[in-house]
């Protein structure tokens, strides 16, 4: 079983080399026979997530860090290829799961974990939707925008990281819920075109343009009611300075700061007082009990064509993961980034 393990602390950026870098390739034997209370899965598509940088070093976070020497943590779309003796009545060979397998070709999962992660994709959706719109990133957009952002009809909504897996869904949900203006920030002209021409954002701004702050101000003439923050840094600062009274700032992620030796907070923080802003961070896992209803609604929107999506699939197998992760931070993806380990 080929695996990619965490070999060396990033300093501070991830070094994608497979030898002497942040990660290393390892071979290990698969336990035989399969332990009675576990299932064996074959990994097909691995998820690459911005949070991975945090998992390598964050000491006090929502999840324990990955330890040196451990298989790198990751979700995957995986298929059951073996069932332990006490689980034969519960699982069939060939069933699909989205599970925390880590960066490896095969993984053993407890029966409990496997049961919680069965893939149910409505007809008309693609199998990879299970790890995108109908997976963690779609759910993050859903709860972040609706529960934390409390989007209302007529709102001006700004989404950063808008052409990424989470942002693309957040912006479209805002439209579905009747936002008056949905403004997306992304890092290239192609991404901006994708947002306005394919996803129906009202305005898209390339934050690498010199005058992006001016463009943002012009796009929000009635200020910002909801800001869905995927990036932190300068963009969060600009949005704070344009906040409407009683606006809601849903703090989902701060990718611009994840690899920084000294992460920086926004200068315009005092706007919180004058504009009575509610700024709240959230973690999607806190909504686990509500996933089934959310997935029903997200699935319906997908089938009806109200939510469109793109996947960014990296071929090249397991070894492509470290470089893929570096490319994720550099903005190589439009839509959900995954690595194909074995095609469907
Ligand atoms: P994305 O698909 O959005 O990929 C990351 C994108 O971030 C890149 O494509 C890049 O696009 C953009 N980016 C990278 N660096 C910067 C920068 N310095 N400034 C602005 N944009 C940058 O990833 P996800 O959808 O998986 O994650 C999006 C955010 O949501 C992350 O911050 C992540 O940590 C967070 N998250 C939070 C969860 C929660 O429960 N709170 C759960 C899941 C994700 P570009 O070309 O536009 O720069």
pLDDT tens, position by position, 3-18 = 999 999 999 899 999 9
Q: Which atom of ligand 1 is nearest to the CA of 283?
A: 40
Q: According to the model, what pLDDT value does residue 18 have?
A: 95
- Percent of the chain at pLDDT > 90 equals 92
Residue 54 structural domain: 2-131+310-340
Residue nearest atom 36 of ligand 1, based on CA coordinates: 253
Residue 332 lies in a domain: yes
* Pair (94, 161) in one structural domain: no
Burial of 110 (0-12, 13-18, 19+ CB in 10 A): middle
Tell me, using a 6 A CB cutoff, whether residue 253 lines ligand 1: yes
Residue 151 lies in a domain: yes
The ipTM estimated for the assembled molecules is 0.99
* Pair (72, 156) in one structural domain: no
CA angle 330, 331, 333 (to 5 degrees): 135
Task: Give 333 Cα–ligand 1 centroid separation in angstroms.
Answer: 10
Tell me, using a 6 A CB cutoff, whether residue 326 lines ligand 1: no
Task: Give 89 Cα–ligand 1 centroid separation in angstroms.
Answer: 41
* Pair (265, 230) in one structural domain: yes
Tell me, using a 6 A CB cutoff, whether residue 55 lines ligand 1: no
* 321-330 pLDDT, tens digit each: 999 999 999 9
CATH number of domain containing 104? 3.90.180.10
Confidence of residue 222 (pLDDT cuts 50, 70, 90): very high
* Pair (174, 211) in one structural domain: yes
pTM: 0.97
Q: According to the model, what pLDDT value does residue 259 have?
A: 86
Q: According to the model, what pLDDT value does residue 124 have?
A: 85
Confidence of residue 306 (pLDDT cuts 50, 70, 90): very high
* Pair (201, 269) in one structural domain: yes
Residue 337, classed as helix, strand or coil, is: strand
Cα separations in angstroms, 117 against 3, 99, 141, 329 = 22, 6, 19, 27
Tell me, using a 6 A CB cutoff, whether residue 231 lines ligand 1: yes
* Pair (277, 258) in one structural domain: yes
Confidence of residue 2 (pLDDT cuts 50, 70, 90): very high
Q: Which atom of ligand 1 is nearest to the CA of 166?
A: 25
Q: According to the model, what pLDDT value does residue 121 have?
A: 80
Tell me, using a 6 A CB cutoff, whether residue 84 lines ligand 1: no
Residue 297 lies in a domain: no
Residue 291 lies in a domain: no
pLDDT mean over 288-300? 96
Q: According to the model, what pLDDT value does residue 117 have?
A: 81
Q: According to the model, what pLDDT value does residue 248 have?
A: 98
Tell me, using a 6 A CB cutoff, whether residue 282 lines ligand 1: yes
Cα separations in angstroms, 296 against 162, 220, 251, 268, 303 = 23, 32, 24, 39, 11
Q: According to the model, what pLDDT value does residue 58 have?
A: 72
Mean pLDDT value across the chain: 96
Residue 224 lies in a domain: yes
Q: According to the model, what pLDDT value does residue 59 have?
A: 75
* Pair (116, 164) in one structural domain: no
Residue 261 scores a pLDDT above 90: no
Q: Which atom of ligand 1 is nearest to the CA of 188?
A: 46
Tell me, using a 6 A CB cutoff, whether residue 281 lines ligand 1: no
Q: Is the dihedral of CA 214, 212, 309, 129 positive or negative?
A: negative
* Pair (125, 10) in one structural domain: yes
* Pair (140, 121) in one structural domain: no
pLDDT mean over 316-335? 97
Euclidean distance between CA atoms 202 and 219, whole angstroms: 9
Residue 246 lies in a domain: yes
pLDDT mean over 161-165? 98
* Pair (215, 269) in one structural domain: yes
CATH number of domain containing 279? 3.40.50.720
How many separate domains does the chain show?
2
Q: Which atom of ligand 1 is nearest to the CA of 312?
A: 2
Residue 115 lies in a domain: yes
Residue 299 lies in a domain: no
* Pair (270, 176) in one structural domain: yes
Neighbours of 200 (CB within 10 A): 14
Tell me, using a 6 A CB cutoff, whether residue 133 lines ligand 1: no
User: What does the block give as tokens for 96?
Assistant: 């699909």
* Pair (15, 66) in one structural domain: yes
* 130-161 pLDDT, tens digit each: 999 999 999 999 999 999 999 999 999 999 99
* 20-78 pLDDT, tens digit each: 999 999 999 999 999 999 999 999 999 999 999 999 987 788 999 999 999 999 999 99
Cis (ω within 30 of 0) for the bond into 159?
A: no
């Amino acid at each position: 079983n080929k695996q990619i393990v965490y070999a060396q602390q990033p300093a501070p950026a991830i070094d994608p080399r497979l030898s002497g870098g942040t990660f290393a390739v390892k071979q290990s034997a698969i336990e035989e026979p399969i332990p009675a209370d576990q299932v064996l899965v074959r990994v097909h598509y691995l998820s690459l997530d911005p949070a991975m940088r945090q998992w390598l070093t964050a000491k006090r976070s929502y999840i324990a860090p990955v330890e040196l020497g451990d298989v790198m943590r990751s979700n995957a779309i995986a298929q059951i290829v073996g069932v332990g003796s006490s689980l034969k009545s519960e699982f069939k060979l060939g069933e699909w799961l989205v599970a925390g397998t880590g960066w490896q070709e095969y993984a053993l999962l407890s029966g409990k974990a496997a049961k919680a992660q069965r893939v149910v994709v409505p007809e008309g959706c693609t199998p990879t939707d299970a790890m995108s719109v109908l997976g963690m990133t779609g759910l993050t957009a859903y709860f972040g925008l609706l529960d934390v952002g409390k989007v209302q009809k007529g709102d001006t909504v700004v989404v950063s990281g808008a052409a990424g897996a989470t942002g693309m869904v957040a912006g479209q949900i805002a439209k579905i819920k009747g936002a008056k203006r949905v403004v997306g920030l992304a890092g290239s002209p192609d991404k901006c075109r994708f947002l306005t021409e394919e996803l129906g954002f009202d305005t898209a701004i390339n934050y690498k343009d010199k005058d992006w702050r001016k463009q943002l101000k012009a796009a929000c003439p009635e200020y910002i009611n909801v800001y869905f923050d995927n990036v932190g840094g300068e963009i969060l600062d600009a949005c704070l300075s344009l906040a409407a009274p009683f606006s809601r700032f849903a703090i989902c992620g701060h990718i611009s700061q994840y690899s920084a030796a000294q992460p920086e907070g926004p200068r315009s923080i005092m706007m919180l007082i004058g504009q009575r802003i509610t700024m709240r961070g959230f973690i999607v896992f806190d909504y686990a009990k509500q996933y089934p209803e959310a997935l029903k609604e997200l699935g319906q929107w997908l089938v009806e064509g109200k939510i469109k999506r793109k996947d960014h699939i990296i071929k090249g197998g397991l070894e492509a993961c470290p470089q893929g992760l570096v490319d994720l931070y550099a903005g190589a993806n439009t839509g959900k980034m995954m690595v194909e380990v074995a095609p469907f």
